[in-house]
Chains A and B, each alone.
Chain A
Amino acid sequence: MTLFNELVAFLSESANWSGSRGIPVRIGEHVLYTVVALAAAFAVAFPIGLLIGHTGRGAFLAINIGNAARAVPTFGVLILVVLLAGLGFLPVLVALVILGIPPILTSTYAGIRGVEGSTVIAARSMGMTERNMLLKVELPIALPTVIAGLRSATLQIVSTATIAAYVALGGLGRFVIDGQQQRDYGKMAAGAVLVAALAIAFDLLWGLVDRVVVSPGVSGRLPRTRRARDADSPPPTTGTTPTDPLTPEPAGRPT
């Protein structure tokens, strides 16, 4: 039997889809680990990223912590935390959170820093409070970058959450580890494939979130007809004269 056949066989065996060790339960556990770790990483990294991005203070620190954390081997962290805290959910969570912090921190920081200076100065000069500026101007403009950071944090956490199985927890890692011990390669492969599928599902979800929460003025997802009428970018079709930027355009101009 080829690996592929074994994989299909494992996935089509109905017994594998039920019970406390079945695929749905393992997926649920995996999602739980991911969501909890992501939420914790977000709770730590996002406010710090906002603050550093807005004030410009501590940027050096943020970047270095980000880089250092990236270099730390996750598995090493897990072993270390297990040694210090013992087996259980907490050490796994800590390891995953440490993994999730750098992308969220650096992208939030970079997104806020990336807001144009004139926009920030304008906001402050209009009489916005610093809090208002951050939440109502800087953050909405930084959102695509922040979401990109969350996306990459999610991907890393989803794939790394397999290590939970090493410390006798659940999740899709169970199939990989148990499969290896039982020399059941179909099971192992199923574990890997399910992790990949979950990662894709999360990514699609973030794509959806991005579409819903990012302003069209920032994402550039503007209705086509409108953009074609923009005075600065007249359509390249021959026979149309570029609009005079001074002349207000009539509402119902045919396109």
Chain B
Amino acid sequence: MIEFESVTKRYDDGTVAVDGLSLVAANGEITVLVGPSGCGKTTSLRMINRTIDVTSGTISVDGQDIASTDAVTLRRNIGYVIQHAGLFPHRTIVDNIATVPHLLGWDKKRSKGVALELMERVGLSTALATRYPAQLSGGQQQRVGVARALAADPPMLLMDEPFSAVDPVVRESLQDEFLRLQQELGKTIVFVTHDIDEAIKLGDQVAVMQVGGTLAQFAPPAELLSKPANDFVAGFIGRDRGYRGLSFVGAEGLPVHERSTVAVGASEDDVRQATGDDDHVLVLDTERHPVGWLPVNGQADISPERLLALGTTFTPAQTLRAALDGALASPTGEAVCVDGDGRFVGVVSHGEIAEHLQTAGRQAG
């Protein structure tokens, strides 16, 4: 557990970078510090490992005031990942990763073994072990940075915009793998980003900071989206927060209802009868798994070539976002709901999803 108690940082030139910050980063959770450039995120992070000194207030790690610990020992117990990875260009990948084990005096064989194991863990081929950082892509370097921070298996991890220097596609997959890794490792992580989407995706708790180094709101992502504490937070989250909020509302309460369906291989008469006035009909296979949409418009030719792709389906266990994605991809504006075995349950239109969101939002707010 990392605890900030009214922590203030004033630099020598008088800049107040952090002002009266109080928050707790709980064990095993990802706590994200997010905010615009210059709001004191990096300063806050680096005060934790004492590479920047606090001006007033206290930071404690597992209940112990860090001011009373030995800085070097403290740092060896807290992994650190930085933007652009900050790798040592003169060392090979395996030696970069084994930095802290070397410092701790582990024998060479053990350090190397751990380093190679970690390479696989973060998704790097061990064939890269003897390369130098300059020979890796940005995404690969970032993975090495994460592996290096994990090498001595520290219980805590500080990460300063670790994924911001790579392109959006690589970033997304790094984030996904990071979450997967965290599920296995359960580290106590403080993660800095200026990207609100990243904060919402990764954070168990999100601290929104504003320029001047004050804390605007400290809450789980869902609460941040549904109840922004003030105009600054609302503005920072942005106009599309409604859409982001969908990820946190379950789909189970949606008014899913019946609609016309036909079985694969049905006759034209069956189709005409089932469809009624609709211009599309949903086609199910014999197990009642949805296969696609059939446009009807007068003629009831049910040849498979005319079948329109189903798009994505959703289950009640998923979120409104999954339902909305399904609705947007469907030719009729209806999302197809299936049960856990993939069998057809019903449909819901995007209008109904929006209506549901409004009532859900009112209840939450």
Contacts and interface: CB of A to CB of B under 8 A. Distances in A.
A13 interface: no
Contacts of A68: none
B51 A119 contact: no
A69 interface: no
B89 interface: yes
A122 B72 contact: no
Contacts of A251: 125, 127
B106 interface: no
B360 to A, nearest CB: 37
Interface in A90-128: 116, 118-119, 121-128
A231 B100 contact: no
Contacts of B82: 118, 121-122, 125
A230 B136 contact: yes
Interface stretch (B23-31, B73-81, B211-219, B278-286): B73-81
A245 B139 contact: yes
A18 B27 CA distance: 81
Nearest to A119: B86
Nearest to B89: A217
A132 B123 CA distance: 30
Contacts of B131: 226
B92 A245 contact: no
Interface string A120-162: 0111111111001000010011000000000000000000000
Given A129-B72, A220-B134, A231-B140, A122 B86 contact: yes
B90 interface: yes
Contact of B51 (A121, A141, A217, A218): A121
A28 interface: no
Contacts, number: 110
A250 interface: yes
Contacts of B139: 245-246
A116 to B, nearest CB: 7
Given A118-B84, A122-B87, A128-B103, A248 B72 contact: no
Interface in A201-255: 215-218, 220, 222, 226-227, 230-232, 245-246, 248-251
A32 B182 CA distance: 62
B86 A217 contact: no
A141 B80 contact: no
Contacts of A127: 72-76, 100, 103
B173 interface: yes
Interface in B113-139: 123-125, 127-128, 131-139
B170 interface: yes
A250 B123 CA distance: 12
B103 A132 contact: yes
Interface residues of A, number: 33
B257 interface: no
A249 B125 contact: yes
A231 B103 CA distance: 31
Interface string B219-261: 0000000000000000000000000000000000000000000
Contacts of B80: 122, 125-126
Contact of A125 (B51, B124, B133): B51
A124 B52 CA distance: 11
A126 B76 contact: yes
Interface string B43-80: 00010010100000000000000000000111110101
Contacts of B124: 248
B83 interface: yes
Contact of B86 (A121, A218, A220, A231): A121
A124 B51 contact: yes
Contacts of A124: 51, 75
B170 A215 contact: no
Given A118-B82, A215-B132, A126 B91 contact: no
Interface centre among A122, A249, A250 (most CB of B within 10 A): A122
The 8 A-B residue pairs whose C-beta atoms are closest, nearest first, are A248-B125, A217-B132, A122-B86, A245-B137, A127-B76, A127-B75, A215-B90, A251-B127
28 contacts: A119-B86, A119-B87, A121-B46, A121-B51, A122-B87, A122-B145, A125-B46, A125-B82, A126-B100, A126-B103, A127-B72, A128-B99, A128-B103, A141-B89, A141-B90, A215-B90, A217-B133, A217-B134, A218-B90, A220-B134, A226-B135, A232-B136, A245-B137, A245-B140, A248-B123, A248-B124, A248-B128, A249-B125
Given A128-B103, A248-B123, 8 more contacts: A119-B86, A122-B88, A124-B51, A124-B75, A217-B92, A217-B134, A222-B135, A248-B124
